[in-house]
Amino acid sequence: MMRLFVLLIFILPITVNAQIEITEDDKSLLDSLYISETEDIKGADKVLHAEPIFIDLIRDLGARKGEREWNVGLGMTDKNKFDEYTTLVEYEWAPINRLGLEVELPFSWYYPSSSEYRNTTIPASKLNGIKTAIQYSFYVSEKRSLSMAIGYINEVTLTSFNQYNKERIVNGNKYNPFFVAAKRWTDNLHTLLYTGPVIEKHINAPAQVTYQINSNFHYMISGTRNFIGIEFNKAVNKSDFDMTIRPQMRLAISNNLMVGIVTGVPIKREFERFSTFIRLIYEPKHKA
């Protein structure tokens, strides 16, 4: 995990420096051509924004009818005495202009971090839940390079695998209405805000409310879909404030396949230390 973190720190400046041989005029031309591929298409308006890797959106802001995307995510978090491995599979699509839908299956697997913690009580592995989501871009302005959306994520939470024959499988629900605003300041500089409450209600237990404030800054490499950036994932409840800083990069492997690499650095190490996350993004051919 630490090796991946160190590798990312070295890769990010190398990726930027690889653009030095391109003149400023060439960069401007490449940027204009790439942006026009997204925006200067007959049909509904859409602004090109850099989308965060860890907290990703329900389709692009200003999604156009027929857009689709498959995501596969793999992650690991050091939880002091044990490690949490996460996997997810999600499918998102736009049935009409500006409306995105998503279905996701997130899994968590837990193992002791070393032999000395083998007898430590750790969480049981499970399919966390069944997540469904909707997002509507109510404001899209190519002139202002600005987009805004509202959405809702619902997750039916499930018990661990070893409890399936002992109790009900469904043990609660998570409700997450959210708001997104994204602004492209120049051809390369992008910012995005994603915020909203997460209300978690388990059966026979009081509801717990956590407020998420996720701010993002990205630099998109001229004429490409590649970017480097950082997420600040903040969680606030009545008694606590947590923030994880996530430097990240996205690389295009082909026209319809990309990979995102993220490292996580918590500002407090109460319950977890460093983490890593990789997201594979596949966009099938657009169906109009």
Q: Can you give the CATH number for the domain in which 37 is found?
A: 2.40.160.40
Q: How many CA atoms lie within 13 A of 75 on its CB side?
A: 27
In a domain, 288, yes or no: no
pTM, 2 dp: 0.84
- Is a pLDDT exceeding 90 seen at residue 31? no
pLDDT at 190: 97
Number of domains comprising the chain? 1
Q: How confident is the model at residue 29 (pLDDT cuts 50, 70, 90)?
A: low
DSSP characters for 48-116?
A: --PPPSSS--SS-TTPPTT-EEEEEEEEEEE-SSEEEEEEEEEEEEEEETTEEEEEEEEEEEEEESSGG
In a domain, 271, yes or no: yes
Kind and range of the H or E element at 145? none
In a domain, 75, yes or no: yes
In a domain, 144, yes or no: yes
Q: How confident is the model at residue 240 (pLDDT cuts 50, 70, 90)?
A: confident
215/11: higher pLDDT:
215
Q: Calculate the alpha carbon distances from 280 to 123, 129, 200 in Å.
A: 27, 21, 28
- Is a pLDDT exceeding 70 seen at residue 12? no
Each residue's pLDDT tens digit, 166-182: 778 999 999 999 999 99
Q: Calculate the alpha carbon distances from 38 to 114, 144, 260, 281 in Å.
A: 48, 15, 20, 18
Least confident segment among 6-15, 80-89, 204-213, 247-256: 6-15
Q: How many CA atoms lie within 13 A of 106 on its CB side?
A: 16
Each residue's pLDDT tens digit, 123-142: 899 999 999 999 999 999 99
pLDDT at 11: 47
Burial class (CB in 10 A: 0-12, 13-18, 19+), 1: middle
238/154: higher pLDDT:
154
In a domain, 24, yes or no: yes
Domain that holds residue 195: 2-282
Each residue's pLDDT tens digit, 62-92: 999 999 999 999 999 998 888 999 999 999 9
